[in-house]
Structure 1
Amino acid sequence: MAPQPTEDERVILNGMTWQDYERLLADRGDQAGARMAFLDGTIELMRSSFHHEGVKKTLCRLVEAYADERGLDLNGYGSWTLKNALVGRGLEPDACYALGVPGGDLPQLAIEVVWTSGGLNKLDIYRSLGVGEVWIWERGAGFSVHVLRDGRYEKATRSALLPELDLALLQSFVESPNQSQAVRAFREALRGSTGG
């Protein structure tokens, strides 16, 4: 078996139209493949590395464990294709969530893992689409939280959607090599804390 790539693979296509983007999405269909984003005539095709996917899955499991421990109705929607032809923007987040059932065509929270730098400005795409909150976990840097206010993202120290979540505590478990152990330890830490 060939070794897994350690970096994300990214292809950038310039001079593309919205119709090109829609056609690529349709050609791919529901099959697993490269995630796609569209911004200002550029299409990004990205295939995540083994490490990227591991961090993403661990992070999702931790967020879901937090919601379970706190009795929150959190619904996950994976790499839901978010797009709007009127603003000419589209992408597929690493993960996205809504508290309760989403009240429209957008999740309330999108999560991006940046394992390999480069590519399109995803925050600009999310802003144009109107996603209320974006968490970016970047290798070597940890979390940044971006909350949409008055049409612009503001960096925040806490989540607006999950304000009691201690992101530093969450971060301490994200890069664990054993996801199940990380989730169990995170749950224990949450049960031992009063605010969470």
Structure 2
Amino acid sequence: MPTTIDRTHNLFPQPTPDRVLLENVSWQTYEALVRDVENQPGLRLTYDRGCLEIMNPLVPHERTKKLTGRMVETLTEESNIEICSLGSLTCKRRDLERGLEPDQCYYIQNEPAVRGKTEIDFDRDPPPDLAIEIDISSSSLDRIAIYADLGVPELWRYDGSDVIIYRLEDKTYRTCDRSPTFPQMTPDAIVRFLEMSQTMGETSWIRAFREWVNAGYG
């Protein structure tokens, strides 16, 4: 049955063109909307203890998340590392009353634990090992805290100019000067290749990244 949003929910002031924020949203309504969004590719939902942000990503956001994801996928392919790529998989836990869709997410160390699964239950399955967060226009909710609460070990966040790499330690994110999973991947390297993509075709760009990987990260 289609689900509609209760119009009695209070909108926060000044919604932006690509997102709207609702408050006093129940967990049941959030889960119903998650099911509805499966038929509307592109929409992103972030739920944080009664607050719900609905985001319609714009072109720069979608391009950047795809390019960053391609770097991870090329790196693991060239390094012969098995991964499970799950894109914007909804990651949610009712006991925490929190949930979101990463821009990209990957099982790497825990890839064997989810291999072949058609459904992942975060009450018993591990969270993704790496998530990518493209935050060009800035979320109204604290998505970083939600990732930490869900237990995602590594997070890359790009704000349109800089990359921050986070590692989870004692349920708190600490910034790193390089990826814990891919030690040669630094924030500067990720930004450099994202900037290169602005002046190159995507095929030529990913070929240049692949050559950089195979040259030993020169």
How high is the TM-score relative to the length of structure 1? 0.88
Higher RCO structure (Cα 8 Å, ≥6 apart): 1
Is the 2:165–2:187 contact (alpha carbons within 8 Å) kept by the matching residues of 1? Answer: no
Pick one of 77, 88, 111 that aligns with 1:68.
Answer: 77
Q: 1 or 2, which has the higher strand percentage?
A: 1
Is the 2:164–2:187 contact (alpha carbons within 8 Å) kept by the matching residues of 1? Answer: no
What is the distance in 1 between the residues matched to 2:38 and 2:186?
38
Is the 1:95–1:111 contact (alpha carbons within 8 Å) kept by the matching residues of 2? Answer: yes
Is the 1:8–1:49 contact (alpha carbons within 8 Å) kept by the matching residues of 2? Answer: no
Map of 1:186 onto structure 2: 209
Residue ranges of structure 1 left out of the alignment (5+ in a row): 1-6
Report the CA distance shift for 1:151/1:16 in structure 2 as closer, same or farther (over 3 A). same
What is the distance in 2 between the residues matched to 1:182 and 1:112?
21
What is the distance in 2 between the residues matched to 1:102 and 1:21?
30
SS of the aligned residue for 1:56 comes to helix
Map of 2:29 onto structure 1: 20
What is the distance in 2 between the residues matched to 1:134 and 1:119?
18
Alignment length (residue pairs): 188
Coordinate RMSD, CA, aligned: 1.9
What is the distance in 1 between the residues matched to 2:17 and 2:202?
21
The one-letter code sitting in structure 1 at the alignment partner of 2:136 is: W
How high is the TM-score relative to the length of structure 2? 0.79
Map of 1:164 onto structure 2: 184
Q: Which stretch has the larger CA shift, 63-72 or 96-105?
A: 96-105
**Identity value in percent:** 35
What is the distance in 2 between the residues matched to 1:184 and 1:33?
27
Using the TM superposition, give the Cα deviation of residue 156 of structure 1 relative to its aligned residue in structure 2, in angstroms.
1.1
What is the distance in 2 between the residues matched to 1:58 and 1:78?
12
Map of 1:114 onto structure 2: 135
SS of the aligned residue for 2:32 comes to helix
Residue ranges of structure 2 left out of the alignment (5+ in a row): 1-15, 114-124
Report the CA distance shift for 1:8/1:125 in structure 2 as closer, same or farther (over 3 A). farther
Map of 1:55 onto structure 2: 64
The one-letter code sitting in structure 2 at the alignment partner of 1:126 is: Y
